[in-house]
Amino acid sequence: MILEGLVTTLSPQGEVNLAPMGAVVDSALDAFVLRPFRTANTYQNLRHHPQAVFHVTDDVELIARAALNQLSELPPLRPAEQVAGEILKNCCRWFELTATDWDDSEDRARVMMRVVHTGHVRDFFGLNRAKHAVLEATILATRLHLLSSEFVTAEINRWQPLIDKTAGPQELAAWQFVCDFIRNQTKSDSSISPL
């Protein structure tokens, strides 16, 4: 199963990198498989320093901004407890990880990670269709170079009713951000419905 979240890693200079990642997990959540592209900062950081923190969050705007490289600054962080790394102060829960094995044979590496510590900050909001629509639109926005503008427009317009029916202020802001990003990248202002 894939668990979507945010991963923090440290560069050789000690700088924090925050990246969205779908980790392969089982129901025990005692081991994670991270699959960063070998060209990604996450991969380079893990190769230098094989520890990370995986965060479960319901902050879809943070996920969207991190995925689209649109963070003006990192959110509040605090030091991890068992690994050299950083924890998002406003996550729902976190997992401190240490690499145990690597497979670099493909463009996306497979980094097997063992959970060495976990913690809880706040409860997960729960299932919400607007949050899921933002997440799917964000993934779509990361693949604009692979998709036709007609397909992108159709998908965004298909998800718009989920936003209209179930979004709160956070989801509305995140949806607006992702739609604006797509409009700016595709120059298709007239084809994607405004909020």
Q: Give 10's DSSP letter.
A: E
Instruction: Calculate the average pLDDT of the chain.
Output: 94
pLDDT tens, residue by residue, 144-185: 999 998 999 999 999 999 999 999 999 999 999 999 999 999
CA distance 186 to 124: 34
Q: Which residues face 102 on adjacent strands?
A: 111
Q: What is the Cβ-side half-sphere exposure of residue 55, based on CA atoms within 13 angstroms?
A: 29
Residues ≥6 apart with Cβ < 8 Å to 181? 64, 68, 70, 141
The DSSP 8-state label assigned to residue 85 in this structure reads S
pLDDT over 70 at 142, yes or no: yes
What's phi and psi for 119, nearest 5 deg? -155, 170
| Whole-number Å distance between alpha carbons of 190 and 30 | 47
Distance (Å, rounded) from C-alpha 83 to C-alpha 95?
10
4-50 residue pLDDT tens: 999 999 999 999 999 999 999 999 999 999 999 999 999 999 999 99
Question: Residue 143 and residue 94: Cα distance in Å, rounded?
Answer: 27
Domains of the chain: 2-120 (2.30.110.10), 129-186 (1.20.58.290)
Closest C-alpha to 79, from 10, 165, 12: 10
Alpha carbons 133 and 172: distance in angstroms, whole number: 11
Closest CA to 2 of 16, 22, 30: 22
Mean pLDDT of 76-105: 97
Ranges 63-72, 159-168, 186-195: which has the least confidence: 186-195
